[in-house]
Amino acid sequence: MSEQKTNELVRKIFEAYLENKNLRKTPERFAILEEIYSRNDHFDVETLYIHMKNQKYRVSRATVYNTLELLVSCDLVTKHQFGKNMAQFEKSYGYRQHDHVICIECGKVVEFCDPRIHQIQTMVGDLLKFDVKHHSLNLYGFCSDCSMARKVSESAASAEKIEEIKS
Ligand SMILES: [Zn+2]
Ligand SMILES: [Zn+2]
């Protein structure tokens, strides 16, 4: 699906949702939606708010926050809780199914796609007679940069110890 087509569709979905809930269709809300669908990353409320402000949008932190919650309710945005970090969000409409690997040191998030996970979901659903709708799988560890940095500081620490023993 082309980006423009996706943008038109998500706008229509959001419009219908707001109408249905008797909520105001403010330009700010649509600007936030558009901004989210122009990004390809995971972001928290603060990052999005600052980005909107830098682009000279007149939005308040509260509007960004509320709009995000509305977009999560109508399935246009997915909310993640990666470890102890602030909640992170990402667009979800027309976006491929994926899971995440998160660095516990720097908070970097990498997406991966493995069809076997979907197979497990179907199999477990069949087995336990559950109509499984979705799943969330997060893997935590150190990214290559952070493992490298850890190795360097570990070897520096052990070198210091050797120095101590010698003296
Ligand atoms: Zn890292
Ligand atoms: Zn993701």
Alpha carbon of 41 to ligand 2 centroid (Å): 7
pTM for this prediction: 0.82
Please return the burial class of 39, using the count of CB atoms within 10 Å of its CB with bins 0-12, 13-18 and 19+.
middle
Domain architecture of the chain: domains with CATH: 1-95 (1.10.10.10), 97-167 (3.30.1490.190)
pLDDT, tens only, 146-160: 999 998 888 888 887
- Distance of alpha carbon 80 from alpha carbon 94, whole angstroms: 18
- Ligand with minimal distance to 39 CA: 2
Alpha carbon of 143 to ligand 1 centroid (Å): 4
Question: Residue 167 has what pLDDT?
Answer: 66
pLDDT at 56 over 90: no
Angle ∠(80,39,7) on CA atoms, nearest 5: 105
pLDDT, tens only, 84-127: 778 999 999 987 889 999 999 999 999 999 999 999 999 999 99
CA 114 from chain centre, in angstroms, equals: 18
Question: Residue 72 has what pLDDT?
Answer: 96
Mean pLDDT value across residues 13-34? 96
pLDDT, tens only, 130-143: 999 889 899 999 99
Residue 10 near residue 76, CB atoms below 8 Å: yes
Positions of E strands within the chain: 77-80, 88-91, 99-103, 109-112, 138-141
